Amino acid sequence: MRLRELLRRIHYLLNRRRFDDELAEEMAFHREMAEESGGVPLGNALRLREDSREAWGFMWIDRLGQDVRYVFRGMRTSPGFTAAAVLVLAIGIGATVAAFSAFNMVALRPLPVRDPDTILWFQRHAPERTVSAVPYPAVAFYREHTRTLSAVLAMTAAQVSVEGAEQPLSAFFVTANFFDELGPRAAHGRLLGVADEKPDATPAVVLGHGFWASHFGSDPSVVGTSVRINGKAATIVGVVAREFSGLAGDTPAFWALLERHGYFVHGSRLLTDFSSGVGMWGRLGPGVSAQMAEDELAILAAELRRQHPSDIWEGERLLSAPGGYPPLIGATSIFALVGALVLLILAAACGNLGSLLLARGASRQREIALRSAIGAGPGRLIRQLFTESLVLAMMGCLGGLVLGSLVLKGIMIWTDAPVWLDPTPDWRVVTFAVAIGFLSSVFFGLAPALQIARQTQRKTFGRTLLIGVQVASSCVLLIVAGLLTRAGERAASTDPGFEYEHVIVVELSLAEHGYTAARARSYIQDLSVRLRGIAGVEDVSVTSTPPLGGLTITALLQLDGRTLAVFIHQVDPQYLATMKIPLLRGRNLIDGDERSVVVSESLARRKWPDQDPLGQPFKIGDETLTVVGIAGNARSLAIRDPEAVELYRLAREADLTGLAVVARIAGATEALAPAFSAAANAVDPNFKPQVQLLKDQFDQSVRDIESGALAVSLLGVIALAVACLGVIGLVAYSVAQRTKEIGIRLALGAESRHILRSLAIQFQGTIIGGLVAGVLGAAGLAQLLRRELYGLSTIDPIAYISAIVLFLFAVGLAALWPARRALRVDPMVALRCD
């Protein structure tokens, strides 16, 4: 019954024109007959017809059509207003769309692999600890016994030396089922599979697409040729398609089989040892939930613990996390921050457009009055005005989608983002853009529509609020930009406490190349001797955490209820001298001095404010060391954190395979880098360590802050420009409204400054209110920023004051321009006009 009625209505909708004509004809006939029999026709024929058509419930389409047609006609007559409105809105929506697309791309969209939703990533977990590396023998055990997982995948990354390449290259070792399970295409040749696992199969590798393009110039004939990896021969059997992301969200130069790890990496015990581990993923079987898989694996882990009591932890279980999505670590606060910034731009844009619409409404008073005089009720008027806003919003939305995608694409090219990330807007982005467009049309359009339709032009509350929003949001952006710029300056100008201009770092990754502690010791000794022999090298030493290298080792210290991270440098006695870190008191470390520690001055001050730090015990884990010396502060592992604290202790036997070599040079470092590579090659021709100039890394970390500051400054300037436009409109409108009053005052002898002051007084409340809200907002946002950027001071008076001065200056100029018109008012003309 209901369905048939719906079908009839749809039939009506499709043949609406014919139905309407028939109804008109029928009603005309009725009228004729009624007149013939002496009746008097009642009411407007058109109106009666519309009432009848209302029964079908589709009149809103007609009205919407009318309104939209009317909007477009209006737009054609004022193209300037339309262009300005759409542009302002496109900027506001574009910024939000770009931010959301970025979030969507890396957080909401799964990786481009087969059935990403059934892939889980596993970590070892016991009540006390969580570790992401699972020992390979355990992985093999789980793979053999699991019934809930249809496949178990494993992967480990390594740096490999390749014949003909200066720097070490990345290789991912994966299980034989990896490509079959994830289903990537081969761009050329074939991918690795179970057949390559057989002991008698020729060792095969597959190239990553990016490496194939950069290193082999995308030459397909490379497939089938042989390559020496870590000195071992292997055949290149194929190239993985460009759009394949793997599971780590990163693609290597080479893909090889994990089962062949022992072949490529000399002395590798990865496949047999419980002390190392690999990344583990699993694919859920049909109808199995993640919880069921976790429960089963917990039972298997307990069983494995019975066989290997010392290798599997007590109460160990595997924690699962969605594996088919890009790994996002600690990026949520960045997204929250970016989200807050772009919403501010949107708020400024909406506030601006709202006041534009109100000003336009004032000039349309006549039209509105006329429309309401011929029978349009307030509901009909609001609907029409709101339709205008909606059409504007949808045009802005389209512009915003285009602008946002372009900006995102530009950022991705600029930041060298992985190629498998696809910035093309998907349904989520489009839905988001439309929703934002609709919400902003409510925000900027509804208040003006209500005010215009009610003909209450004199009440300026809505207008004041809209300007206040613009003032506040542009103010927040300017202050945050100022804070970031200052943080960048500070990072660049203050002394980091260590030598970086003249230092070369040789990152060794000996463990990944299968070196034992004894071999590592002789390698490092040999290399150090050769490096010292190079002319211009002043000093050579080792550390487990090279400066600015991204690798940190920390001890957590409880101080006054707060947790303090202490950066631990495992070094040799020469390290402080090499890095030119001054020893302030006490003595340096000496060889064999494993129970001693040198602490930084900042750590000494924090931990023993009232005592002599020398001779104090210091606990790291289960060990208790004695403080023997105090060194100068050197933020080599946390360049942006002026409050970082650190300590130095000797590297021990177990640390040997994880060490890097640092060397200080007398002159420029660039010239000596090739000599360093040559020296390493002479020690072990199969292993090419990474030689880096510390200066480059230092410059890079300063540039990171500076480009962040630049981006926020740009947003701030856009918001400021938008706010200035809004203020110009507001003052111009106010001057137009008060022409008569100003004329009278001028005629009575008022001076220009009186007139200007009376204009200024009208807005000072709004501006001050907006400024206060802006300062408070900025202080809040700075707290959020501080979590990411340690150098940022939340109460930096210079940043706040300069932002406010800049703002007042720009807004003052913007206000003065239309205000001049007030002074040129001719009293006679003003008094004569209505």
Partner 1 sequence: MQRNEMPSGALVLLILRVLRSGPLHGYAIAQRIHALSADALRVEEGSLYPALQKILRKGWVTAAWGTSDTNRKVRFYKLTRDGMKQLEAEASQYDRQTKAIQAVLRTA
Please report, as ranges, the residues that interact with partner 1 according to CB under 8 A: 1, 4-5, 8-9, 12, 22-23, 25-27, 29-31, 33-34, 40, 42-43, 48-49, 51-56
Neighbours of 665 (CB within 10 A): 23
Which residues lie below 8 Å from residue 185, measured CB to CB, with a gap of 6+?
240, 241, 244
Taking the complex as a whole, the smallest distance from the CB of residue 52 to partner 1 amounts, in Å, to 4
Structure tokens at 776: 């408070």
Nearer to partner 1, 32 or 501 (CB): 32
Taking the complex as a whole, the smallest distance from the CB of residue 375 to partner 1 amounts, in Å, to 16
Nearer to partner 1, 44 or 289 (CB): 44
Could you tell me how far CA 241 lies from the centroid of its own chain? 26
Give, for 679, the enclosing helix (H) or strand (E): helix 673-683
One-letter amino acid at 191 equals L
How crowded is the C-beta side of 515, counted as CA atoms within 13 Å? 27
Buried-state track 305-324, b at ≥16 Cβ within 10 A, e below 16 = beeeeeebbeebbbbbeebb
Nearer to partner 1, 12 or 81 (CB): 12
Residue 225 to residue 234: CA distance in whole angstroms: 9
Structure tokens at 654: 């177990």
Nearer to partner 1, 35 or 367 (CB): 35
Give, for 646, the enclosing helix (H) or strand (E): strand 645-650
Nearer to partner 1, 51 or 751 (CB): 51
Task: Return the C-alpha torsion angle 208, 213, 214, 220, nearest 10.
Answer: 100
Residue 67 to residue 388: CA distance in whole angstroms: 8
Taking the complex as a whole, the smallest distance from the CB of residue 8 to partner 1 amounts, in Å, to 6
Taking the complex as a whole, the smallest distance from the CB of residue 54 to partner 1 amounts, in Å, to 7
- DSSP tag of 579: T
Taking the complex as a whole, the smallest distance from the CB of residue 285 to partner 1 amounts, in Å, to 52
Task: Return the C-alpha torsion angle 812, 818, 824, 826, nearest 10.
Answer: -130
DSSP string covering 214-273: HHHTT-GGGTT-EEEETTEEEEEEEEE-TT--TTTT---SEEEEGGGHHHHSTT--TTT-
Taking the complex as a whole, the smallest distance from the CB of residue 62 to partner 1 amounts, in Å, to 15
Residue 304 to residue 424: CA distance in whole angstroms: 47
Nearer to partner 1, 15 or 783 (CB): 15
Taking the complex as a whole, the smallest distance from the CB of residue 1 to partner 1 amounts, in Å, to 8
Taking the complex as a whole, the smallest distance from the CB of residue 398 to partner 1 amounts, in Å, to 36
Taking the complex as a whole, the smallest distance from the CB of residue 3 to partner 1 amounts, in Å, to 11
Nearer to partner 1, 22 or 314 (CB): 22
Nearer to partner 1, 29 or 60 (CB): 29
Residue 63 to residue 384: CA distance in whole angstroms: 9
Residue 209 to residue 238: CA distance in whole angstroms: 10
Taking the complex as a whole, the smallest distance from the CB of residue 21 to partner 1 amounts, in Å, to 12
Nearer to partner 1, 56 or 274 (CB): 56
Residue 97 to residue 93: CA distance in whole angstroms: 6
Nearer to partner 1, 40 or 373 (CB): 40
Taking the complex as a whole, the smallest distance from the CB of residue 372 to partner 1 amounts, in Å, to 24
Taking the complex as a whole, the smallest distance from the CB of residue 14 to partner 1 amounts, in Å, to 14
Nearer to partner 1, 53 or 513 (CB): 53
Q: CB–CB of 523/833 below 8 Å?
A: no
Taking the complex as a whole, the smallest distance from the CB of residue 63 to partner 1 amounts, in Å, to 17
Structure tokens at 379: 């509901």
Nearer to partner 1, 52 or 276 (CB): 52
Taking the complex as a whole, the smallest distance from the CB of residue 33 to partner 1 amounts, in Å, to 5
* Distance, first Cα to last Cα, the chain: 63
List the one residue out of 349, 375, 344, 495 whose CA is nearest residue 44.
Answer: 375
Detail the DSSP E strand segments found in 112-246.
119-126, 129-131, 149-160, 169-174, 186-189, 204-207, 226-229, 232-240
Nearer to partner 1, 9 or 228 (CB): 9
Residue 669 to residue 685: CA distance in whole angstroms: 23
List the one residue out of 824, 834, 829, 817 whose CA is nearest residue 730.
Answer: 817
Q: CB–CB of 530/283 below 8 Å?
A: no
Taking the complex as a whole, the smallest distance from the CB of residue 28 to partner 1 amounts, in Å, to 10
Nearer to partner 1, 43 or 164 (CB): 43
Taking the complex as a whole, the smallest distance from the CB of residue 373 to partner 1 amounts, in Å, to 24
Taking the complex as a whole, the smallest distance from the CB of residue 324 to partner 1 amounts, in Å, to 50
Give, for 797, the enclosing helix (H) or strand (E): helix 797-823
Taking the complex as a whole, the smallest distance from the CB of residue 184 to partner 1 amounts, in Å, to 56
Neighbours of 235 (CB within 10 A): 16
Could you tell me how far CA 361 lies from the centroid of its own chain? 40
Nearer to partner 1, 34 or 551 (CB): 34
Nearer to partner 1, 13 or 750 (CB): 13
Nearer to partner 1, 8 or 787 (CB): 8
In the three-class reduction of DSSP (H, G, I as helix; E, B as strand; rest coil), residue 78 is classed as: coil
List the one residue out of 687, 661, 349 whose CA is nearest residue 513.
Answer: 687
Q: Is 815 exposed, middle or buried (0-12, 13-18, 19+ CB in 10 A)?
A: buried
Neighbours of 87 (CB within 10 A): 14
Cα–Cα distances (Å) from 103 to 108, 150, 423, in that order, read 7, 31, 10
One-letter amino acid at 136 equals Y
Structure tokens at 693: 């100039």
Nearer to partner 1, 25 or 115 (CB): 25
Length of the chain: 834
Structure tokens at 507: 């990152």
Residue 505 φ then ψ, to 5°: -110, 130
Structure tokens at 287: 């109808």
